[in-house]
Chains A and B, each alone.
Chain A
Amino acid sequence: MRPLVLAAALLAPAAAHADTPPVPVFADETAASGLTHTFAGEWTFMVGGGAAVFDCSGDLMPEVFLAGGTAPAQLFLNRSTPGGALAFAPAPDRGLDIDAVSGAWPLDVDGDGITDLALLRVGPDRLMRGLGDCRFRDASAEWGFDGLDFWSTAFAATWLPGGDWPVLAVGTYIDRMQEAFPWGNCTPNQLYYPAPGGGYQAPVALTPGFCALSILFTDWNRSGAVSLRVSNDREYYKGGQEQLWHVPADGGAPALYTEAEGWSRLRIWGMGIAQADVTGDGFPDYYLTSMADNKFQVLADPGAEGGPKPRYADQAFKRGITAHRPHAGSDLRPSTAWHAEFSDVNLDGLVDLFVVKGNVWDMPDFAQQDPNNLLLQGADGVFTEGSVAAGVASFAQGRGGAAVDLNADGMPDLIAVNRNAPSEVWRNTGGPGIGNWLSLRLSMPAGNRDAIGAIVELRPEGGVLQTREIVVGGGHGGGHLGWQGFGLGAAAAAEVRVIWPGGAAGPWQGLTAGRHWLLTPGAAPAEVSP
């Protein structure tokens, strides 16, 4: 009997594909679009570098705000034409050219219907109030938001039941004053509860902090209550691990999930969280970026008597998404992954996975030439690498990113924010086998305007149910707010239901593909045109 040769296992997914998912063709429109930007910096900006994507001009084509590190952050107004080439215009006069920004997330903090921005910085964080017309003003003091003086690296927000203002969570990294022995000097994460009548109370320190690089409020067990998932960088903590916090709805003291509750210890170089229900069991699954192998966590026993416990099985290997080494080029050293995001880039009704990669900074154990991944899900739940064929396999030192429709054509485009190198943007031009789409925006009349925490259920005609929780947080360094794209495959329509924050389930409603739909509680879907 010949010895078993497993070399191919290093580069191939664990299971063979039943079929090959269509590969969309992307056009690199970085230069042509005018998105001229670099996230710059050395040690304190070796992490961060996020993209916040949101529509502040009301034309369905979102603006892009990019962290700058030592350079000022930049807002780019979206001047694309619907379905056409991407075009951006820098807007340095809108109040956002702020330095030391590591990340940014859009959200409507004060519920006035205008998107605001949470800016994470190496230094005091800021809440920037949207004034309309894509103009912003620092409202930190006005809202009682004490941004503290940490190396901030992660952000999430949610609305507790009955709350008009969101609870904000800020993840922090290393005590940057510890030059010779930074290890074991992770600073605490911070939780900002709203103050009665608006604004914020003094932050509550979430201790222990284990150097968070991504955090996410998530309804992990679909109980209707959110918990806070924290992905931590084991490079710097001692005695640390990944964390899941109870966040009491009454604003009481948060508490960590324990082993007795089913939480099992995991220690990785946690850098980014992407959430989606890939398994179709109705519960969110989590892709956790790291160095070398990345993790894909699914509930180990979703049908457990008495409800699931937060115990997860890693299916990254099984599904071909370990993404542990470069899939292209000659550098075979292990990879370093940062921003990750599930998005159905080929609109076949199955979410795909975009992973932005890049060496931390001269780490010789890891690949210097580390291309991004675009992992396309097949019908059997196994993913295959498609970034070279799609044209998005950048070798730059990636950090943040976004997979979001930038030109209102229903196809997710891609952004990668690179450290000390130009950021990149690719337009999804479709291609053979690309499916139909449907775009949704959830809207509530007050408070939680963007229905953060809502669950969208979408069932294409003849297709499988898709479930998505609307969140602010996760990723690495940034996220996007607003329109949610869904792939429908060959279906010309889909049934959609929203379980709104608070748990009220809306009716199933039939929606035609290829359109943008505004969904409001108690109202019929309204079509919106670019």
Chain B
Amino acid sequence: MRDLRWIAGMAMVVCLAATPLRAGDGAVSMENWYRLILELVRHTPTYSPPVAARAFAYTGIIAHEAQVGGPGPGVTLAGQLHELTAPPARDPAATYDEGVVVNAAMTAAVRTYFSNTGPTGQRAMDAMEKALAGQMAEGVDPAVLARSLAYGEAVAAHVIAWSATDGGAVVENLGFPYEYELTPGPAHWVPTSTVAVQQFPLLPDWGKTRTFAMPEATTCRLPPPPEYSEDPGSQFYKEAKEVYDTVRSLTPEQAAIARFWSDDPMLSSTPPGHWIFVAATELKLEGADAPRWALVMARLGIAVADSFIGCWHDKYEYDLVRPVTYIQRVIDPKWQPILITPPFPEYPSGHSTQSGAAAVVLATDFGADHAFIDTTHGDEGMDPRPFASFEEAAQNAGISRLYGGIHFRSAIELGLEQGRCIGAFAAALRMSE
């Protein structure tokens, strides 16, 4: 069964590369736009994981809201997400083309949330817009076409205006502050590389961003990490020693797991993009229609975006030192992790938090025992990995950070817990009749 699903998963990649554009099929619009935005995230430096998650959330919300009131069962998120008011209503007496509506909304969303991309990305967006707009308009009555375009764009504009006030709309200097005061003391984060722009930590105020479904950034706040200590008998030392010993005796399988979930910004579609890819694969496999695509992508986007807000709040509250810093100072000055240590505080693990949340919402939409084959990094030459459930995958993502030498166990296990807590709010959203 798994083998067959893997073949289907790989076929999806090929299929997306040459998806035949069928007039009026909003699902085709969504498939293709999502394929493109995963590339734009990979190739645009703005998209650190929190920023990418935010862009995924709003894009999914726009796609969902544009289809509410159409023939699908969608229920608006207005009133359910913080400060989101009702989008423009459809004219109940008028006819709309759903493919045109969702494509117009997606086009506006991508143009807004992925506008920081460079000339090649802009060129690709132009090409995608031209191809999809032409195909979606094929055979559509001109009046219906105009009305549908206007409606999709109006819904997008409504959500875009709402998003502008969340505190995360402007990202400067790739997310690194120009000035910052490091917290003194050995327990706290210090730069872990000699990359000049990373001498200050990434997005220290991201925890102040407005949440989507989670009530507050602190709603799923974690307890403090183990108390900092250099005493070999302390819990902190033991966790550091575990990272040290694990990396020194890493098995090939553990190394492969670490690299599979590495999801480095600017070298991949980032951790939230990893889950978006998984969701896209499963939607394609089931032949989902456009409303289903939008529901899944909106809920998943909300879950991972809220995760980064909650996680980032705690990261900067506790401001914990990274394993590489502690281990080189206390245990072995020559030790190196196998992954690039991210340039921000350690606790909790962001990938763990957002993976925990992603697993919750994907289980909601696909089933708790939904097995899948993860082919996210096939084009990077990595083998696909099968999982019996999204939760199993989330745990795999979490422990990968220990194998990679960039997180202590507490950050992983509690990060997953935090994600489950945050994801529950997105899972509870009422999005369809």
Contacts and interface: CB of A to CB of B under 8 A. Distances in A.
A360 B197 CA distance: 19
Nearest to A363: B118
B131 interface: yes
A46 B122 CA distance: 13
A234 B194 contact: no
A208 B379 CA distance: 13
Interface in B123-150: 123-124, 127-128, 131
Contacts of B118: 235, 360-363, 365
B312 interface: no
A179 B127 contact: yes
Contact of B197 (A5, A239, A334, A361): A334
A405 interface: no
Interface in B195-242: 195-197, 199-200
A156 B304 CA distance: 47
B173 A333 contact: yes
A4 interface: yes
Nearest to B200: A6
B290 to A, nearest CB: 20
A183 B381 contact: no
A6 B180 contact: yes
Contact of B196 (A43, A46, A234, A322): A322
A523 interface: no
A234 B267 contact: yes
Interface string A333-354: 1100000000000000000000
A293 B174 CA distance: 12
B380 interface: yes
A181 B124 contact: yes
A183 B39 contact: yes
Contacts of A37: none
Given A3-B182, A238-B379, A318 B124 contact: no
A46 B194 contact: no
A441 interface: no
B71 interface: no
A361 B121 CA distance: 11
B285 to A, nearest CB: 21
B168 to A, nearest CB: 16
Contacts of A322: 194-196
A504 interface: no
B124 A316 contact: no
A66 B226 CA distance: 62
Given A180-B124, A234-B267, A365-B45, A332 B182 contact: no
A260 interface: no
Interface in B36-53: 36, 39, 42-46
Contact of B120 (A9, A43, A292, A333): A43
A365 B46 contact: yes
Given A180-B131, A238-B379, A291 B45 contact: yes
Interface string A231-245: 000111011000000
B116 interface: yes
Given A6-B200, A316-B194, A364-B116, A181 B179 contact: no
Contacts, number: 117
A174 B120 CA distance: 11
A5 B181 contact: yes
A9 to B, nearest CB: 5
Interface string A456-474: 0000000000000000000
A185 B143 CA distance: 40
B124 A182 contact: yes
Nearest to A235: B43
A317 interface: yes
Contacts of B199: 6, 9-10
A253 interface: no
Interface in A167-196: 174, 179-184
B267 A181 contact: no
A4 B174 contact: no
Nearest to A322: B196
A325 interface: yes
B172 interface: yes
A293 B196 contact: yes
Contact of A360 (B36, B119, B123, B266): B119
Interface residues of A, number: 46
A7 interface: yes
A183 B181 contact: no
Contacts of B180: 6-7
B119 A363 contact: yes
Contacts of B381: 239
Contacts of A277: none
Interface size range of chain B in the complex: 35 or more
Interface in A1-44: 1-7, 9-10, 14, 42-43
B174 A292 contact: yes
A178 to B, nearest CB: 9
A334 B174 CA distance: 8
B119 A361 contact: yes
B17 to A, nearest CB: 7
A324 interface: yes
A381 B120 CA distance: 39
A10 to B, nearest CB: 7
A239 B380 contact: yes
B380 to A, nearest CB: 4
B183 interface: yes
B128 to A, nearest CB: 6
A364 B114 CA distance: 11
Contacts of A293: 195-197
A324 B123 contact: no
Contacts of A316: 194, 196
B194 A4 contact: no
A365 B43 CA distance: 12
Nearest to A182: B120
Contact of A5 (B36, B179, B380): B179
B303 to A, nearest CB: 26
A179 B36 CA distance: 12
B178 A10 contact: yes
A234 B46 CA distance: 15
A362 B123 CA distance: 12
Given A239-B379, A239-B381, A3 B197 contact: no
A319 to B, nearest CB: 10
A314 interface: yes
A324 B173 contact: no
B79 interface: no
Contacts of A5: 179, 181
A364 B36 CA distance: 19
Interface string A265-295: 0010000000000000000000000011100
A365 B116 contact: yes
Nearest to B42: A183
Contacts of B131: 180
Given A3-B182, A293-B195, A179 B123 contact: yes
Contacts of B252: none
A4 B182 contact: yes
Given A3-B182, A179-B124, A324-B196, A46 B119 contact: yes
Given A181-B39, A334-B174, 11 more contacts: A1-B184, A9-B196, A9-B199, A43-B119, A179-B124, A183-B43, A235-B43, A235-B118, A238-B379, A318-B194, A325-B196
Nearest 9 A/B pairs, CB to CB: A317-B194, A3-B181, A322-B196, A7-B179, A180-B127, A363-B118, A239-B380, A324-B196, A239-B381
11 contacts: A6-B200, A10-B197, A181-B35, A181-B36, A181-B124, A183-B43, A234-B266, A236-B120, A238-B380, A293-B197, A361-B118
Interface of B: 17, 35-36, 39, 42-46, 115-116, 118-120, 122-124, 127-128, 131, 172-174, 178-184, 194-197, 199-200, 266-267, 379-381
